[in-house]
């Protein structure tokens, strides 16, 4: 494993890991969700599984997350997350190990970023893994209103959403209301027809951020895509933390990626 560091289009540092197998068969990129980082258990499972299947892997911390890259979580946005992915891919295109088409894997807001890239540059993407992805800011707001109405009320009134971190106990995550306003500018559903490559969807049965019915709705938009699969992990929430859920995630992802080696 090698560490790399580049500057994004705004001059902020992006730090990532490059994993190169002895005889690579392809290239892949992995992107965490909002306030996530590359060492999270569910993200490492994706990176390690790709590596074990002889893919070169780029697993990086987006800016404005909680990893090694620059920025603050309160400055995160859907567009910034996507632009970081584009900037990392453009950097990779200058390296001698770069290869197209490649595999994209993303969770939550990282899922939004990789899905948007697949819509914008479909000819570059070999296969796409969408793990509890966000597809529409409007849908996302509707879901929060449905499952957490008091959260939205307080967020609007105070201007801030503050919650305790699950993956890093003792820390808090703060988001301004402007973060949600920016989300409302994005909707991948209108261009879903451009996603024609093989796609794997995975979501937790107890996910109240990007629930199964929302994943099924986007899944059904891919009408011209016969190479699509969707799995619901019963009992799992948005970020898989239980060992049994992580094992299922690895099994499903490993079985799927082997089809596209």
Digit-coded pLDDT (tens) for 52-88? 999 999 999 999 999 999 999 999 999 999 999 999 9
pTM: 0.96
Residue 167 confidence (pLDDT)? 63
The radius of gyration of the chain from alpha carbons, rounded to an integer in Å, stands at 17
User: To which residue do tokens 């049994």 refer?
Assistant: 244
Residue 40 confidence (pLDDT)? 97
DSSP the chain: -EEEEEE-TTS-EEEEEEE--SS--EEEEEE--TT--TTSHHHHHHHHHHHHTTEEEEEEEPTTSSSSSSS-GGG--HHHHHHHHHHHHHHHTTSTT--SSEEEEEETHHHHHHHHHHHHSGGGEEEEEEES---BHHHHHHHHHHH-HHHHHHHHHHSEEEEE-SSSTT-EEEEEHHHHHHHTT-BGGGGGGG--S-EEEEEETT-SSS-HHHHHHHHHH-TT-SSEEEEEETT--SS--SHHHHHHHHHHHHHHHGGG-
Average pLDDT over residues 109-123: 98
- The 10s digit of each residue's pLDDT in 155-212 is 999 999 998 776 666 778 899 999 999 999 999 999 999 999 999 999 999 999 999 9
Average pLDDT over residues 215-242: 94
**Mean pLDDT for the chain?**
96
Residue 260 confidence (pLDDT)? 87
Decide if pLDDT at 240 tops 80.
Answer: yes
Average pLDDT over residues 104-132: 98
Task: Identify the band that residue 225 occupies on the pLDDT scale cut at 50, 70 and 90.
Answer: confident
Residue 106 confidence (pLDDT)? 98
When mean pLDDT is compared across 64-68, 88-92, 220-224, the lowest value belongs to 220-224
* C-alpha pair distances (Å), 222 with each of 100, 113, 193: 23, 17, 6
Q: Which domains does the chain have, with CATH numbers?
A: 2-135+187-260 (3.40.50.1820)
State how far the Cα of 170 lies from the Cα of 122, in Å rounded to an integer.
41
Residue 72 confidence (pLDDT)? 95
């Amino acid at each position: 494993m090698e560490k790399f560091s580049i500057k994004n289009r705004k001059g902020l540092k992006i730090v990532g890991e490059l994993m190169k197998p002895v005889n690579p068969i392809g290239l892949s990129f992995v992107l965490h969700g909002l306030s996530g980082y590359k060492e999270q258990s569910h993200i490492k499972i994706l990176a390690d599984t790709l590596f074990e299947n002889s893919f070169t892997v780029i697993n990086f911390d987006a800016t404005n997350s909680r990893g090694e890259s620059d920025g603050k979580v309160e400055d995160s946005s859907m567009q910034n997350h996507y632009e970081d992915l584009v900037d990392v891919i453009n950097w990779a295109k200058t390296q001698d190990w770069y290869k197209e088409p490649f595999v994209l894997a993303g969770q939550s807001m990282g899922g939004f970023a990789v899905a948007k890239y697949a819509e914008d540059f479909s000819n570059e993407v070999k296969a796409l893994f969408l793990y509890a992805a966000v597809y529409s800011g409007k849908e996302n707001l509707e879901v929060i209103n449905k499952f957490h109405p008091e959260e939205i009320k307080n967020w609007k009134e105070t201007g801030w959403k503050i919650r305790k971190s699950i993956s890093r106990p003792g820390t808090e995550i703060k988001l301004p209301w402007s973060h949600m306003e920016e989300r409302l500018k994005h909707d991948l559903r209108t261009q879903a027809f451009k996603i024609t490559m093989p796609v794997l969807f995975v979501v937790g049965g107890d996910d109240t951020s990007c629930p199964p019915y929302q994943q099924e709705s986007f899944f059904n938009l891919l009408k011209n895509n016969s190479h699509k699969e969707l799995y619901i992990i019963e009992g799992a929430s948005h970020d898989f933390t239980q060992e049994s859920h992580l094992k299922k995630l690895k099994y499903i992802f490993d079985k799927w990626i082997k089809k596209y080696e």
